[in-house]
Amino acid sequence: MKHLEKGISLKHAPADFIRDLDVDNVSAGIVAGLFGISASVIHVGAGTAAGLDPQFIMIWVIAYLMINGLFGLIMPAYYRLPLPMANSIPGALLFAAIIPVVGVEAALGASLIAGAISLVAGLAGVMGIVMKLIPMPIVMGMVGGILLKFGLNMVAPLENAMLPAAIMILAFFLSARFLRRVPPLIVAMLAGIAYMAYAGIDFSGVAFSVTFPEFIVPTFTLEAFLAYGLPLALILVGMETPAGVGLVKGMGYKQVPANAITAVGGFATMISSFFNLHSTCIAAPMTGICSSPEAGRPDKRWVAAVIAGAIFVAGAPFYGYVISLIEAMPSYFVAIVAGLALLKVITSAMYMTFAGGKHEMGGLFAFLIAASGLQILGIGASFWALVLGVFISLIFETSDFEFIRRAAHEPGA
Amino acid sequence: MRRFKDWSIPAVTAGFVAVLVSYAGPLAIFFQAAQSADVSPAMMTSWVWAISMGAAVSGIFLSVWLKAPVVTAWSAPGTALLVTLFPELSLNEAVGAYLTAALIIFAIGVTGTFDRLMQAIPRGIAAGMMAGILFQFGLGAFQAIEGTPVLALGMLMAYLVFKRLMPRYCLILLLLTGAGLAIGLEDASLDGVGWQLASPVFIAPEWSWHATLSLAIPLVLVSLTGQFLPGMAIMREAGYAASARSIISVTSLTSLVTALFGGITTVVAAITAAICTGKDAHEDPDKRYVAGIANGLFYLVGSCFAGAIVALFAALPGAFVAVLAGLALIGAISANIMTAIEAEDHREASVITFLVTASGLSLFGLGAAFWGVVIGCVAYALLHRHYRKRRTYCQLPLGK
């Protein structure tokens, strides 16, 4: 356990939570929570495309909200850092694709092993080495490429919902400039809600329902492990943690518990596998929202992550209800709010990719590949962005790698 | 020819690739317009003859005169306008509108209005717009991997190998490898390509209010915002201080002549300009003008064999061109993103410009490049401009 970083403590967390609560981190937390719930459309889409039973998709998503949310309460509260927990989106796509091939139990067995690998990696303290192998500009190139989509999605509504989109975006900019007390995000949301109230929304599709996660016993097969478990383990250790840690570090936090994030994510993934859920890990877009300057003072941004976790847990049983509510809202609303919340994060990710003068080419390729949404062998763009980015950087920018440069300078090493 | 020693293979290749990319990409839209106008193959050949000749003459002249890689082409967003207007619009009316548009653009160029406009746009915003346009080509290279994995990955690998071992000849080697792969793997056949000389067909212009309002005015707008604006920004970013006045004057005068043979307005190229103004064309910026001349010469060849060009590009697989264009623009993409992101006092406005342009937004018939600059400038005015007091929002905390 010596590699696990020590946090502050959970004892005073509730009191400190109330002390640190402010408008900025509450609004960022709400946006992150909303964003996390609305990300479930990816699960629903991937599951439906893979021909999974709607009932199964429902308990899958509910497990993700419940379990991710619980760990999302603990991690930020213990470390007092904006570390919201969610699940791996590339992992979700793989999971949905593998179920028809090997069955739910075997897929979850592979998840369990992937979680165990991640737990061991965190406990053994290898994250320092992993992070050195994957240099920051390349990680940030990948993160920037992934997040870029949310920036582009913010612009798209200008075409088909110009008036509300323009109102929300202008409200954001104007309040950023002229209103001192109110977070621009809240102003943008209020402007959007005001417009919707004026234009009227159809709530007839909203239906109330309550569902809970279901217990299941995983089984183990080699096929499921090779096709899904191993890639998932690589994604968790080699991509999700570096992306999350990179983002938080990029926002100016010095000490980020990379090993603990990996270990806790692994442990949580093992638990997840008993409840029809493929993984629990740090989530890049939500981390971006919670750790961004939009979430207020740096030492209080952890509150945003806790709120996002609380929204997950509270929303889980009523997921059916919540999602029908989100579906009733025009799609531009969440798209614009998420895009605005991520604007600074995208900017700083691009800055860290391109302005350092190191790993420029690897970073650029990682950025382009991640943004292209390319999918090879069922694995998503973010993974290939890292692999190819590092590969290209090793070819063209060998001397930018710290450990290679050091090895070259120390002949004895 | 004392200057003959300035000629280099990378510069000539850059010129060639630029021609290849614009024939392969934007020309397709012109074909589409020709189809909607239901013109004969001879007329279509004349159109291709005219636009190529316009690009060739103005490009060579400007590159030699200004000793800078000035790459010209036809107005790509303008051809998109045509698609929707034909067949209601007659060919004669279209030619009349081309002439009107050329005259208006000439007037705007010669008075220096455009130069003043360009100078008013903050540097990061111009770079953000360029990065946004070029970005889509970069994405296209990787998106091609899903549809045609062997060709695209083969070209990508070839690019990496050549770039590492022979960076000077990377582009030409990539071109040859790609063409080989396209013929070997994708069954691209060059059988239908015949090499007869093209002959231009004269079209008598006819002026009408309808054509002026629906074609000439929009053509001026999209050419200035969609071509001259990014094209001049590219030149400026690459460090060439060419004035828009001389370039616009030459291209619009060229347009007056080529219009009579069905050639839509000649303008400064944007995407393909980036291929010729970058480091890949030549290490020494003073010798990149050769790429501009080569580009013109290849257009001249293309113009003479316009019929063959039409057949040739119907034969090449789309993925080949997508990957080639994307990889040829890699350097330009990162250079422009870097300029946009390094604009410290208006970084966010630059990123917003980038996002809007990259999103491909199209409103009221005007393209993403225009809206990128407009929305970027609004963001600049709202977020960054000093009116009195500076708010903390402008400062982005960044880790080291």
**How open is the CA angle B208-B209-B210, to the nearest 5 degrees?**
90
Which positions in chain B touch A369 (Cβ < 8 Å)?
A: 142
Quote the CA–CA distance of B378 and B362 in Å, as a whole number: 17
Q: Given a cut of 70, is residue A124 above it in pLDDT?
A: yes
DSSP characters over A366-390 = HHHHHHHT--BTTB-HHHHHHHHHH
pLDDT at A269: 94
Q: Residue B175's pLDDT band (boundaries 50, 70, 90)? A: confident
Which of B139, B337, B352 shows the shortest C-beta gap to A372?
B139
pLDDT at B189: 65
Question: By percentage, how much of chain B surpasses pLDDT 70?
Answer: 90
Q: Worst-scoring range by mean pLDDT, A165-174, A184-193, A360-369, B28-37?
A: B28-37
pLDDT at A29: 92
Residue predicted with more confidence, B181 or B253: B253
Q: Residue B185's pLDDT band (boundaries 50, 70, 90)? A: confident
pLDDT at A343: 81
pLDDT, average across residues A274-289: 90
A3-35 confidence digits (pLDDT tens): 778 888 788 888 888 899 888 899 899 989 988
At B67, phi and psi to the nearest 5? 50, 45
Which of B334, B348, B398 shows the shortest C-beta gap to A354?
B334
Quote the CA–CA distance of B86 and B91 in Å, as a whole number: 9
Residue predicted with more confidence, A54 or A56: A56
**Cβ pair B348:A174 closer than 8 A:** no
Q: Given a cut of 60, is residue A247 above it in pLDDT?
A: yes
Tokens describing residue B276: 């010729």
Domain boundaries, chain B: 2-331, 344-394
Q: Given a cut of 50, is residue A412 above it in pLDDT?
A: no
Question: Which element (helix H / strand E) includes A85?
Answer: strand A85-86
Per DSSP bridges, beta strands B72-74 and A281-282 are: unpaired
pLDDT, average across residues B303-307: 83
A121: closest CA of chain B, how far (Å): 26
Quote the CA–CA distance of B370 and B361 in Å, as a whole number: 9
Q: Residue B188's pLDDT band (boundaries 50, 70, 90)? A: low
pLDDT at A378: 66
Q: Given a cut of 70, is residue B2 above it in pLDDT?
A: no
pLDDT at A112: 94
Residue predicted with more confidence, B192 or B347: B347
B218-241 confidence digits (pLDDT tens): 788 778 877 888 888 888 888 888
CB pairs under 8 A between A and B: 110
Q: Given a cut of 70, is residue A390 above it in pLDDT?
A: yes
pLDDT at B98: 92
Q: Residue B399's pLDDT band (boundaries 50, 70, 90)? A: very low
HSE, side-chain direction, 13 A CA sphere, residue B347? 23
Q: How far is CA A227 from CA A99, A367, A387, in A?
A: 11, 26, 18
Residue predicted with more confidence, B162 or A46: B162
**Cβ pair A374:B145 closer than 8 A:** yes
pLDDT at A309: 94
Which positions in chain B touch A158 (Cβ < 8 Å)?
A: 361, 363, 371
**Closest-CA residue to B59 (of B276, B336, B325):** B276
DSSP alpha helices (H): ranges in A50-183? 54-63, 69-79, 89-102, 104-124, 127-133, 136-155, 157-160, 162-178
Residues 6+ apart with CB under 8 A from B387: none
Q: Given a cut of 50, is residue B83 above it in pLDDT?
A: yes
b/e sequence A143-154, b meaning 16+ C-beta within 10 Å: bbbbbbbbbbbb
**Closest-CA residue to B50 (of B248, B200, B202, B250):** B200
Q: Given a cut of 90, is residue A113 above it in pLDDT?
A: yes
**Cβ pair B398:A351 closer than 8 A:** yes
pLDDT, average across residues B329-347: 81
Q: Given a cut of 90, is residue B8 above it in pLDDT?
A: no
Quote the CA–CA distance of B144 and A374 in Å, as a whole number: 9
**Cβ pair B355:A251 closer than 8 A:** no
pLDDT at B190: 64
Question: Measured between CB atoms, does B383 come within 8 Å of chain A?
Answer: yes
Which positions in chain B touch A351 (Cβ < 8 Å)?
A: 341, 347, 396, 398
pLDDT, average across residues B257-275: 87
Q: Worst-scoring range by mean pLDDT, A79-88, A129-138, A186-195?
A: A129-138
3-state class of B73 per DSSP? Answer: strand
DSSP alpha helices (H): ranges in B7-122? 9-24, 26-37, 41-66, 76-85, 91-110, 113-120
Which positions in chain A touch B355 (Cβ < 8 Å)?
A: 148, 151-152, 154-155, 346
Closest Cα in chain B to A157: B361
Residue predicted with more confidence, B315 or B67: B67
A179-210 confidence digits (pLDDT tens): 766 778 778 888 888 888 888 777 776 777 78
Residue predicted with more confidence, A137 or B318: A137
pLDDT at A406: 67
pLDDT, average across residues B137-162: 85
Which positions in chain A touch B393 (Cβ < 8 Å)?
A: 176-177, 184
Q: Given a cut of 80, is residue B24 above it in pLDDT?
A: no
**Would you say the ipTM is above 0.90?**
no
Which of B146, B164, B382 shows the shortest C-beta gap to A395?
B164
B interface mutation test: which of A138, A372, A392, A398 has the most B CBs within 10 A? A372
Tokens describing residue A79: 């470390």
Which positions in chain A touch B361 (Cβ < 8 Å)?
A: 155-156, 158-159
pLDDT at B191: 64
pLDDT at B3: 64
A84 touches A36 (CB < 8 A): yes
pLDDT at A180: 64
A248 touches A81 (CB < 8 A): yes
**Cβ pair B341:A347 closer than 8 A:** yes
Which positions in chain B touch A173 (Cβ < 8 Å)?
A: 378-379, 382-383
Which of A152, A355, A375 shows the shortest C-beta gap to B341?
A355
pLDDT, average across residues A45-49: 75
pLDDT at B391: 43
Tokens describing residue B299: 């257009």
| DSSP character at residue B396 | P
- What is the CB neighbour count within 10 angstroms for residue A395? 14
B interface mutation test: which of A168, A187, A292, A354 has the most B CBs within 10 A? A354
pLDDT at B339: 82
pLDDT, mean over chain B: 81
pLDDT at A1: 63
Highest mean pLDDT among A252-266, B15-29, B125-139: A252-266
| DSSP character at residue B251 | H
Which positions in chain B touch A152 (Cβ < 8 Å)?
A: 355, 358-359
pLDDT at B187: 67
Q: Distance of alpha carbon A122 from its chain centroid, rounded?
A: 19
pLDDT at B314: 65
